[in-house]
Amino acid sequence: MKYVKETPRLVVKFIDSETEEVLFEIRDRNWMNIGELFTTHYVTTLMEQEYKNKNKPKNVIVMIAEEYSLIQ
């Protein structure tokens, strides 16, 4: 049995902590630029852009997801 990644690219998901609803995703990231997503300023800016005229969730979880496929 062997699992492999089809791409080195990552998906960053922003999730409402209370409802576990995926708020939005940022696709096609890599390990080199993932650190910029975890600053307070950047997360605040993204939430302001995505939820400009909507109720903003009280707590947000930021997760990085990577998919592995079974090939053997």
3-state secondary structure string across 15-30: EECCCCCEEEEEEEEC
pTM: 0.77
Q: What are the extents of the domains in the chain? A: 3-70
19 vs 31 pLDDT, higher one: 19
Mean pLDDT in residue range 56-71: 90
Lowest mean pLDDT: which of 2-6, 36-40, 51-55, 63-67? 36-40
Burial class, 41, CB count within 10 angstroms (exposed 0-12 / middle 13-18 / buried 19+): exposed
